[in-house]
Amino acid sequence: MAARPRFLLALWTVYVVWGSTYFAIKISVRTLPPLVSAGTRFLLAGALLALFLAWRGKSLRATPRELGAAALLGVALLGVGVGGTTLAETRIDSSVAAMIAGTVPLQVILWRTLSRERVALATRVSVVVGLVGLALVVLPGGEGAASLVGLATMLGATVSWSAASFFGRRLPTPGDPFVATAWEMTAAGAALTVAGFVAGEGGDLSVAMLEPGPVLAWLYLGIFGSLVAFSAYVWLLANAPISKVVTHQYVNPLVAIALGALFLDEALPLTTLAGAAVIVGSVYVAVRAESAPRSAAVQLSPLVGEELEQVGPREDRGRPAA
């Protein structure tokens, strides 16, 4: 394993920063329009990453086919996935959004099952149990003031994440993960920004909405939630055992719940807390069951913190992105 101090620093960066993205999104949408703020966040992150790659002497060139694949994957993962999450958090608590997003690894396993891939019995059972936990989270009245529209939007966002994560393996995206991510973020940022203006968010833009808290949260999401955490994750994939890296899957929701309770006064009923425990436990069992006998294949949503992971047979780690 890599030097322990560097390993711990990188791992805790992924734990804390990715876990805090839901909290930061909730702060940002207090005054900033959700779609435009999400879109410009990715345009910022994509531009910063492109500048960093240029400084390192890396080329951003890609074939038209690779650009098309990167754009499609970026819109599905970041545009619909993260844009949907940002929109959902205008109506539901950040901790509830994180718990629903925590089911994405289980959804990916469900996609694998529907595609007739060989999936271990323990993994299939964990998916069923995890979906029961999801039902506890989204039960009418179980989330208090959260609207059904917000819950449905968040569920739709996670389905887009999981489907794109699974089927995106087949897309011919650029081989360099940093180059692929730069194009994916740029495409998603452009799509979300245009969607925001089409939805009428442009008419609501004003200097008055640029309050310090939301603006700082937006910057945090674009820089720390994207570039810093992504770099730490890529370093971990190259220098640490995958069994250690994937632990963020069940730590991130816990960080989001803690931040929501401490700083946003998000009160969770017992049914929701029970659902969170079931989801985290199910993801733990699924990851352990799948990663124990074989290597892990990782396909994550690029530079967002709301991660998508899958573990599967006969594949290497795949193209990492966060």
Looking at this protein, which amino acid is placed at residue 141? G
> Phi and psi of 293, rounded to 5°?
-90, -5
Q: How far apart are CA 229 and CA 13, in angstroms?
A: 6
Beta carbons of 86 and 25 less than 8 angstroms apart: yes
Distance CA 264, CA 71 (A): 35
- Looking at per-residue pLDDT, the higher value among 173 and 321 belongs to 173
234 vs 6 pLDDT, higher one: 6
Give me the mean pLDDT over the 70-76 stretch. 94
267-294 pLDDT, tens per residue? 888 888 898 899 989 988 887 777 654 4
Q: Tell me the pLDDT band of 299, cut-offs 50, 70 and 90.
A: very low
Residue 153's pLDDT is what? Answer: 95
So what's the pLDDT on residue 35? 97
Task: Assess whether pLDDT exceeds 60 at residue 306.
Answer: no
| Cα gap 124→91, rounded to integer Å | 32
Q: How far is CA 301 from CA 30, 78, 126, 211, in A?
A: 24, 7, 23, 29
Please tell me the predicted confidence (pLDDT) of residue 292.
Answer: 57
Q: What is the pTM of this model?
A: 0.86
Beta-carbon contacts of residue 112 (< 8 Å; ≥ 6 apart): 119, 166, 310, 312
Burial zone of 65 (CB within 10 Å; 0-12 exposed, 13-18 middle, 19+ buried): exposed
Q: Give Cβ neighbours of residue 65 (< 8 Å, ≥ 6 apart).
A: 172
Give CA–CA dist 136/272, Å, rounded: 6
Whether 30 has a pLDDT exceeding 90, the answer reads yes
Q: Which residue has the higher pLDDT, 178 or 305?
A: 178
- What confidence tier does 193 reach under pLDDT thresholds 50, 70, 90? very high
| Predicted local distance difference test score (pLDDT) of residue 303 | 34
Position with higher pLDDT, 300 vs 189: 189
